[in-house]
Amino acid sequence: MEDHTFTSVLWRWEAQDAWRFVTVPADLTDAIRLTTGPPRGFGSVRVEVTVGATTWRTSVLPDTSRGAFVLPVKKAVRHAEDLDDGEIRVGDKLISSKREKYYLPPEQRNFGMVFQAFAVWPHLSVYENVAFPLHIRKLPKDEIHARTEEALKHTNLYKVAHESPDGLSGGGKQRVALARALAIRPDVMLLDEPLSSLDPHFREEMRFEIKDLQRRFDFSILYVTHDQSEAMALSDRILVMRSGVVQQVGTPLEVYGSPANRFVFEFIGLSCFLKTDLTPNGMRVNNIDYPWPANIAPPAALVQAGQAWLAARPSEIDFVGEGGLRGMVSRKAYLGETVDYRVMIGDAEIRVQKGRRVPGPAVGDSVGLAFPQPHWYPIE
């Protein structure tokens, strides 16, 4: 079998605490199936694995929920390669350490949590929902009342404090969840897809409310989302993951403007890709040779490889009268403040977006496209 090298995160199976796995990248699934012979019991495939200095034979198992194989990593390997080591800290506060055999119970971490599905109790009033974690902590009654009222006022819930959350909109219920987490005065707020079930209007409104609360009360937020606009609007730093592996960490501007790889480029923002043949003097697209325009030449390693993907954001592609890559406008759509063009270069479709007040071509026009801020990626 051909060798495949990858990096992945070790994770624990909830049903069996002693078991640890890594997820094999999904793009290796076909290679595993084709080169290792027929599957065994439960669809497993026999493979040879090397981690560090340790090599062993085992079976990878199909995981339909992840669309990939998972690899069990036995205890002897984890100990030999120090895979179980590491610790979690918030500032100077130790949360968990395998080496120190230390685990801070959740109720002592001072973390606030806001769930995707609101998780408010319908049999309690809004006030009682917000006060609940303070009662669990056995705080004095006066302090419970003061903290609860403060949280209700800052989340615009004071007028409905004694009503049932069942009568609130989705945005109102999520405010209750926010107020409840805020009342404990958390060091860290954990938000798991908190706005995904809201309609677009409330989603945008809640983004600003969450950011305002974070700045006002000075706590950190760990925010999990698949919505790129939420990540860009709320974050000071973004961490992009793929199959449990960190792809890039940076500011929103760094991740958007200087993506670490093609996956990050596609994941954050709209993207276009054009397959090109490369020579030292220029590139060939749709059987037409083009010299290197200013700022467009790829890295020397890609030129040597002979092919690459030319990538760009639709908003960063310009129409030009002379020069540029030639194509034809196949579609034009008005999107409010922007106009969305689809330009065909041979069989490839390139998307271009311009402000509605910027004069642009009509459907059927032949146009030139310039790429002032190109990105280049290898063809794999």
Per-domain residue ranges of the chain: 11-80, 114-235, 272-377
Name the strands in the sheet holding 188-192, side by side, starting at the edge strand that comes first in the sequence. 111-114, 188-192, 220-224
What's the half-sphere exposure (Cβ side, CA atoms, 13 Å) at 279? 9
Per-residue pLDDT at 36 = 56
CATH class of domain segment(s) 114-235: alpha beta
pLDDT of 35: 61
pLDDT less than 50: residues of the chain: none
In single-letter form, the type of residue at position 133 comes to P
Q: Which tokens go with 201?
A: 């209007």
Identity at 174, one-letter amino acid code? Q
pLDDT at 65: 65
CA–CA dist 78, 22 (Å, integer): 12
* Terminal-to-terminal C-alpha distance of the chain: 19
Six-digit token pair at 100?
């120190």
Phi, psi of 315 (to 5 degrees): -75, -10
Q: In a 10 Å sphere around its CB, with 0-12 CB exposed, 13-18 middle and 19+ buried, how is residue 299 labelled?
A: exposed
The predicted structure's pLDDT at residue 196: 84
Q: Which long-range contacts (CB under 8 A, 24 or more apart) does 172-178 make?
A: 173/118, 173/120, 174/114, 174/118, 174/198, 174/206, 175/206, 175/209, 176/118, 176/120, 176/126, 176/129, 176/130, 177/114, 177/115, 177/118, 177/119, 177/120, 178/114, 178/209, 178/210, 178/213
Contacts of 301 (CB under 8 A, 6+ apart): none
Closest among 96, 116, 91 to 108, alpha carbons compared: 96
Q: In which residue are the tokens 């796995």 written?
A: 21
The CATH label, of 3.40.50.1820, 2.60.40.1760, 3.40.190.10, 2.40.50.140, for the domain at 272-377 is 2.40.50.140
Q: Which two tokens stand for residue 149?
A: 């009222």
Torsion angles phi and psi, residue 296, rounded to 5: -105, -15
Q: Give the residue from 51, 73, 68, 70 showing the smallest Cα distance to 60.
A: 70
C-alpha span between 319 and 111 (Å, rounded): 50
d(CA 183, CA 100): 32
